[in-house]
Amino acid sequence: MQKKLQNILRKRKKAVLVSGDISEEEHCKKIIDKAVEEFGRIDILVNNAAFQMSHESLQDIPSEEWDYTFRTNIYAMFWLCKAAEPHMKPGSTIVNTTSINAYKPKPILLPYATTKGAIQNFTVGLGQLLAEKGIRVNCVAPGPVWTPLIPSTMPQEEVKSFGKNTPIGRAAQPAELAPAYVLLASEGSSYMTGSTVQVTGGTPSI
């Protein structure tokens, strides 16, 4: 992360870090307010943060965790979009992150998978709602991707076989998702809204 920030600074680009908990509405508003203060407007909003935990039984899922998963994964997305919209002009774009779990929910990830289904519907609905303002809303649906979230939240046996059941036969690296986000953030997707770009290693979502 530090190296990436240094590269940004070398190119005379500006990055502003805002630490905090996006499961709190006030912090989501603070993020948007800070962005507007520093840059004057918002052209692109990417919602990519998420929380997940694994559970073998419905009875093992604490109500507090269910609530926190929803607040982090879908409430925060609503709060950030709502706060950003007044500062977005025609041609601006919102890119959300759903998951293959929206279509093929993994039982041990029930709270997470449920929020990803909600994100899919939120994206389609918001895309229609904001179309007349010239703001596009799309999402990326990743399949298995190697991130620190995987070994820290999934059983060891799941980690060992992670991604091997895809047609490509492996999990993705985060960099392999980047082109999908770049497309949806650029004018290359000017006739796309409410759409989903699937990066699933060949796993069908229909």
Give the catalytic positions in this structure: 112
Q: Using CA atoms, how far apart are residues 69 and 118, in angstroms rounded to an integer?
A: 12
112 in Cβ contact with 50 (< 8 Å): yes
Residue that the structure tokens 């990066």 belong to: 199
Q: Using CA atoms, how far apart are residues 37 and 173, in angstroms rounded to an integer?
A: 34
- Dihedral sign (CA 69, 167, 162, 171): negative
DSSP-H helix ranges across 12-54: 25-39
Q: Which strands form 93-97's sheet, in the order they lie side by side?
A: 44-47, 93-97, 136-142, 196-199
Phi then psi dihedrals of residue 6, to 5 deg: -65, -40
